[in-house]
Structure 1
Amino acid sequence: MSIRMMSAVWEEADVSGATLLVLLALADYANDNGICWPGVHALAKKARVSERYVRELLGGLESNGHIVRELNTGPYGVNTYKVLVGGAKLAGCEPIPLGGYDN
């Protein structure tokens, strides 16, 4: 859990409603670099929406540049996400590549 990422979402993300809830859920799972790999079921439970709606919202967050999603790259083949609000996106830093799990 990264308080830094969650704070950045609250302060900087230009989304609302269920989209904000899913982004906050991702930030809650993320490390300080914004990297996480929660399942859709876990995100749906945290955001209190359906799994189908989470998939739709993740697509929107990705297309709007709030997250980067890599398919089947996490432990046990789950998707890996990088939250881009705060951290790399706002500070102008180079994004940290996905794929390293020894953070």
Structure 2
Amino acid sequence: QTATPTRSGPGAQLRYRSAPPPTYPIAALRGREQGTVLLRVEVSAEGRPTAVYIERSSGSRALDLAARQQVLRQWRFEPSMQDGVATSSVGLVPIEFSLPE
């Protein structure tokens, strides 16, 4: 699983402080499910995710939920800065699930 920061709101970019990958759900492994889920993440001025929405599904409900829960519970971001002040922001975060070869 990999995650790459992408642009948010008005040209800002989400930067990760801590982004541990989600655990691959057992049911998804057994079903050989893989794909990339695109999450829309609202981040507080403190760098904590306050809301995470599935912007584009991976095609697997199990993978989508695992990615959403991991970002909401475990990830931390560098706060966006505007005129030297930390502000809330919104950005898109892709999380890829790929099966080992």
TM-score, L = length of structure 2 = 0.32
Richer in strand (by share): 2
TM-score, L = length of structure 1 = 0.32
**Which has the higher Rg, Structure 1 or Structure 2?**
2
Bigger relative CO (Cα 8 Å, ≥ 6 apart): 2
